[in-house]
Amino acid sequence: MIAIIDYNAGNITSVARALHNIGQDFVITDDTKKLNAASHVIFPGVGAAGEAMAYLRQKKLDAWLQIWINTGKPLMGICLGTQIILDYSEENNTECIGLVTGSTKRFPEHLSSAGLALKIPHMGWNSVTLKRTHPVFSDIAPESEYYFVHSYYPSPSDETAVLGTTDYGMSFCSVLAVKNLIAMQFHPEKSGRPGLQILKNFCSWGGK
């Protein structure tokens, strides 16, 4: 069973709909007993880091995630659920969960590409350049594009944690992968066939 963590951070309906589309059973919950019974956990999210962390701490889900990651069972972060797995976020000056060493940073002002100013948030379709192969990205064309909407991006301290990068006036980490954790800044549930394939691959991934 796949579990989606419910922590009042939005976007859960879209993730649930995508899992339904690939024929995957799932549960949406903030109950740690139900989460413990899952084989895979998805940690999605849209919103502000400070508010999200306050809810996670209230429900003790931040501590639960620390325990879960050490079980070796797969965990997927999406958007805000990627940003707050690091130690710290510049958004709301927030201390975060610390599953990955590093911080989440805001895009600098005055980003540009080919002489044209770029808007923040980064919103729309963009590609990902993978640094190495990974089972969750199997059977997906390298030129595939994914849907992004964000003003902050993950910046891990250890470069080996970076699985994929994306260019938006600068190169930034758009996919993290460490052991049984994979986390992406884009929204696979809103990224058409490539995104659905990512979710399908994750649901069959053993975490190694």
Residue 25: partners with Cβ closer than 8 Å, 6 or more residues away: 1, 2
Of 40, 79, 173, 203, the catalytic one is: 79
What total number of domains does the chain contain? 1
- CA neighbor of 46 nearest in space, from 154, 150, 164: 150
157: CATH: 3.40.50.880
Neighbour-count burial for 78-104, b at 16+ CB within 10 Å, e otherwise: bbbbbbbbbbbbebeebebbebbebbb
Annotation marks residue 189 as catalytic: yes
Of 150, 173, 189, 203, the catalytic one is: 189
pTM, full prediction: 0.97
Domain that holds residue 122: 2-204
Tens of each residue's pLDDT in the chain, 208 residues = 999 999 988 789 999 999 999 999 999 999 999 999 999 999 999 999 999 999 999 999 999 999 999 999 999 999 999 999 999 999 999 999 999 999 999 999 889 888 889 999 999 999 999 999 999 999 999 999 999 999 999 999 999 999 999 999 999 999 999 999 999 999 999 999 999 999 999 999 999 8
Of 40, 96, 187, 203, the catalytic one is: 187
Q: What is the pLDDT of residue 60?
A: 96
Q: What is the pLDDT of residue 11?
A: 84
Q: What is the pLDDT of residue 208?
A: 85
Q: Sign of dihedral through CA atoms 197, 203, 24, 128?
A: negative
188: preceding bond cis by omega (within 30 degrees):
no
Annotation marks residue 203 as catalytic: no
Annotation marks residue 134 as catalytic: no
Q: What is the pLDDT of residue 138?
A: 97
Please state the three-class secondary structure of the chain as a single string.
CEEEECCCCCCHHHHHHHHHHCCCCEEEECCHHHHHCCCEEEECCCCCHHHHHHHHHHCCHHHHHHHHHCCCCCEEEECHHHHCCEEEECHHHEECCCCEEEEEEECCCCCEECCEECCCCEEEEEECEECCCCHHHCCCCCCCEEEEEECEEEEECCHHHEEEEEECCCEEEEEEEECCEEEECCEHHHCHHHHHHHHHHHHHCCCC
